[in-house]
Amino acid sequence: MNRSAAKWLSLAAVVIIVAVIGWGLSGRAQNSASADSARGAVLYAENCASCHGANLEGQPDWQTPDPEGVLRAPPHDRTGHTWHHGDKLLFDYTKFGGDQTLKQMGVADVKSGMPGFGDTLSDQDIGDILAFIKESWPDWERKLQEQRTEAEQTEGN
């Protein structure tokens, strides 16, 4: 291949890479823009705060299962592990419930106390609640959670 053709091929590759990255970022921005965290705060108070706390603090001793072996509601602020998970897992956990989501992941030995809200909340409602929760996280946790979401998308999970 001559030098001119190699230069054009390299330029084309760069343009394609930039376009793909831009397309991916614009999709994420659209999804974030469509979520309404103020509405999510109201929905959180109505549907989630009774277990996860009005201030996202979770149940006391949340890292220890209750006497029946059921996991307690964790905090959704930076002290919990919500930000350790990608958007798809958080969405599925909320919509379908913990037990069903864990079962789909092949996790059979954990009992979750999280009910599914798919019959109560729309997909938009769930997105709004997650946007509200994410707003409480400092930048570092938010960025790490975004990376987990990207990895989740790459893995096809």
Greatest distance between any 2 Cα atoms in the chain? 73
Q: What is the pLDDT, as a whole number, of residue 108?
A: 87
Same domain as 16, residue 64:
no
Residue 76 contacts residue 145 (beta carbons within 8 Å):
no
76: helix, coil or strand? Answer: coil
Q: What is the pLDDT, as a whole number, of residue 5?
A: 45
Same domain as 50, residue 7:
no
CATH at 127 = 1.10.760.10
Same domain as 46, residue 24:
no
Residue pLDDT, tens place only, 91-107: 999 999 999 999 999 99
Same domain as 110, residue 97:
yes
Going from the C-alpha of 71 to that of each of 44, 78, 110, 111, 121, the distances in angstroms are 20, 19, 8, 6, 22
pLDDT < 50 regions, the chain: 5-31
